[in-house]
Structure 1
């Protein structure tokens, strides 16, 4: 059976403002309370996670993540109320898109898709 995976990416200029990975990072930050713990949980570097958070915060009307620098006791990060709202709308859009398997366009693509790629003609 053919498998179609549809992915939503929202752009702000050339920057991806929200996509599946950034949404997952927001969830991890909300659960872990820090960017570094969220990065470890997602098996990515702190720098990569921080750059993703920075990109998200620069692309929306309000920050999606607030950080509290300082000592280990007072430091951390949290998803803002605005970030929660953006994440909620994004997840709702994902759910709606996943429900498109009954639509004619999805069925036409699935019917035309091979189970495996053909052997390359390049020598």
Structure 2
């Protein structure tokens, strides 16, 4: 009987700093969605999180970096919105670069670990 291959690993990069900040896939995705959708609440909805939770994550990121990574404007007759700042784009770019580096440079180790995994029966 041929054994099915072990499941391929999913890599989730999580960066923990001494400052009260964890930068991981969720915050990176939130930043991408704010950039695409132009709204913190819309980005949160897309991710299945409450408006309050999305705002809390944005405030955490904005407070941890040298400046805001997401800039927002209040609603009104023209409506509010949000966008990544230049700093936010830089943070997101570096985070995605690190993910790519891990995938590319770690491919051999990932394959070796996968080969050592128990195969499902």
Aligned to 1:43: 48
By how many angstroms is 1:102 displaced? 3.6
Distance 1:53 1:102 in 2: 32
By how many angstroms is 1:20 displaced? 0.8
By how many angstroms is 1:72 displaced? 5.4
Aligned to 1:76: 81
Cα-Cα RMSD: 2.1
Which residues of structure 2 form unaligned runs of 5+? Answer: none
By how many angstroms is 1:30 displaced? 0.7
Distance 2:27 2:11 in 1: 16
Distance 1:61 1:100, change over 3 A: same
Give 1:22's match in structure 2, choosing from 27, 44, 47: 27
String of CA shifts for 1:23-47, please: whole Å, max 9, x gaps.
Answer: 1110110111111111122221111
- Residue pair 1:12, 1:59 contacting (<8 A) in 2 also: no
Aligned to 2:71: 66
Aligned to 2:119: 115
- Classify the secondary structure of the residue corresponding to 1:115: coil
**What TM-score, normalized to structure 1?**
0.81
Aligned to 1:121: none
Kindly indicate whether residue 11 of structure 2 is the aligned counterpart of residue 6 of structure 1.
yes
- Residue pair 1:17, 1:60 contacting (<8 A) in 2 also: no
By how many angstroms is 1:74 displaced? 4.3
- Classify the secondary structure of the residue corresponding to 1:17: strand
String of CA shifts for 1:75-106, please: whole Å, max 9, x gaps.
Answer: 21111000001101111111111123542x32
